[in-house]
Every structure is written in C-alpha cells, then in structure tokens.
Amino acid sequence: MFEGFSIGDLPVGDERVHVRHGGAGPAVLLLHGHPRTGSTWHRVAPLLVEAGFTVVCPDLRGYGRSTSPPPSPDHRAHSKRAAAGDLLGVMTALGHERFHLVGHDRGSYVALRMALDHEERIDRLVLIDCIPISEHLARADARFATEWWHWFFFAQPEIPERVINADPDAWYRGDPETMGAENHAEWLRAIRDPTVVRAMLEDYRAGLTVDRADELADRAARRRLQLPLLVLWSLRDDLEQLYGDPSVIWRNWADDVTGRGIDSGHHVAEEAPGELARAIGEFLSVRR
C-alpha cells in the first residue's frame, strides 16, 4: 500500500500521529472513519496523487497507530476539537498552511470541527456519509435508535469494552478481499488492541456529550461555513433512507453546498475508490 508515500509518526504536543503522505501539488488531508485507520484510503490516495495533489492520510487520535491521552471524565481528551488540533499540527509540520479537507464517517466530524474553528486554513471541504452529530440527535426517533443503536451502546461505561474485546474480529467483521489484504491486516492489528478500542469508544462518548455541546454552541452563535462544501453519501448505506438528501440539512450549516450519492456501501473508499476519487478531485480542482 501507499507506494512512494512517506510513512511514520509525527510528534504533536504530547501525542504522536501516524501519517502517510505523498505526491505534489495542492495538499488534501483525508480523515478516515470508525473502525478504520488511515490505510482505508489506500486505493483513493494514489488516484489523487495522479490527479496532481499532495495527499496526507493520518490515523485519527487513538485510532490505529496514533496515540491519545487517557480518557477524561468529561471526554474532552477525545473530542473532535482535540483530534482536529492534532491534525492541524501535522499539516503545519508538513508545511501545509492551507489545504483541502476530506472526512468520512467519524473523520467527517473532526473535519467539521476543524473547518468551523480554523476555516482560514482550509480551501475546500468534502464530507462523506454524515450530517452533524447534533442534527442526528435532534431527529433521533425509534428508527434512528434501531438503525444507529451502536452510538448509544458505545457511550455506556465499560460494557462495550468488555463485549468488543472478547472477540473483536467477530464484532467488527472485515473482508480482506473487499478491504485489500494489507489494509485488512492493519485494521486487524488495530481492533485487537484494547487501547485502540477504548479510544474509539471514547470518540463516541465525546460525540454524545462535548461534541454535541460544541455544535449547539456554534448554532447559538450562528456560525456558518463560508468555504465550498461537497457532501457525498453512499447510496447502499442508510443516510438517504433516514433523511432524504443530506445536503439539504447541510445548508443549515454552510452557504455553498453541493452534494450527490455514490453507488457504494458505507466504506466507500474501499468499495468505490475510483468514483470517490473522481468526485473529490473534480471538486477540489474547481477554481473560485
């Protein structure tokens, strides 16, 4: 995977971020979702390099081989603001003061927080398979609770750690043919590490508490994104079934929104890398 990329750990504050980066041209930061690592982009990243971009693929705070502090009672240590701070440090260390930003699943929430707090550093934003956490919770009904029950299970203290760590392979279920053998092997190492599992669960606990509170504070302050936003969603996932066109919801948060679906299941970077890379590349190449 990632032939020609530089791979290593960068110190950021008291933590280390595992990162792959390569290519030449405008920088784009790709943020993965749960329970993946930065290797989920192994089919997309080379296509974006071919399209003329510098591509940066980190592991999120506590995921994969990136470290994180111990959990805090208020979950701030694993908040999207803390994770975004790590990644801003990575981009600064790599010499990218401005860059494009792409987030999928949990990585999309980190990307949203980064864009709201540091829009001056971001040129264009792509968010995949998501609406804001607070928008999900405002619409939480029996169907949402049935389909997305894992949000509330993961938020429970200690119980999900015991359940998942008893048999992480069976809990998460991954297919090496679909994922790619090396990506699958890296993913297995991550989910079999109880420290990583704890950090991934803390991500969800932060989501229902401090991250939601931060989003509500944004809304109360009438903060909106001014930068161009592309919203993409997997047509064989359930986001459109729950809410219709997700880009309609995003227009409450941003002034310049476009969006469309991609024929894929949830892990779109692995299942439909060509279509995803084209959509990202075309959007990021548009000049203002």
Query: For the segment 147-173, what is each residue's pLDDT rounded down to a tens digit?
Result: 999 999 999 999 999 999 999 999 999
Mean local confidence (pLDDT), 94-99:
98
Residues 195, 203, 98, CA angle at the centre, nearest 5°? 110
Mean local confidence (pLDDT), 120-125:
98
Our answer to whether residue 105 is catalytic in this structure is yes
Both tokens assigned to 40: 């989920």
In this model, does residue 118 exceed pLDDT 90? yes
Give tens-digit pLDDT for 208-224: 999 999 999 999 999 99
DSSP state of 78: G
What is the band of 266 on the pLDDT scale with cuts at 50, 70, 90?
very high
Give tens-digit pLDDT for 219-247: 999 999 999 999 999 999 999 999 999 99
pLDDT of residue 210: 98
From CA 67, how far away is CA 16, in angstroms rounded?
5
Mean pLDDT of the chain: 97
From CA 104, how far away is CA 25, in angstroms rounded?
22
From CA 132, how far away is CA 149, in angstroms rounded?
17
The SS3 assignment for 65 reads coil
What is the band of 286 on the pLDDT scale with cuts at 50, 70, 90?
confident
User: Is the separation of the CB atoms in 121 and 99 below 8 Å?
Assistant: yes
Mean local confidence (pLDDT), 28-45:
98
| Cα→Cα distances 135→15, 215, 230, Å | 31, 9, 18
Catalytic residue, from 105, 203, 214, 218: name it.
Answer: 105
pLDDT of residue 254: 98
pLDDT of residue 287: 67
- Percentage of the chain beyond pLDDT 70 is 99
- Percentage of the chain beyond pLDDT 90 is 99
Domains in the chain: ranges and CATH: 6-285 (3.40.50.1820)
Our answer to whether residue 184 is catalytic in this structure is no
Mean local confidence (pLDDT), 72-93:
97
In this model, does residue 288 exceed pLDDT 60? no
What is the band of 19 on the pLDDT scale with cuts at 50, 70, 90?
very high
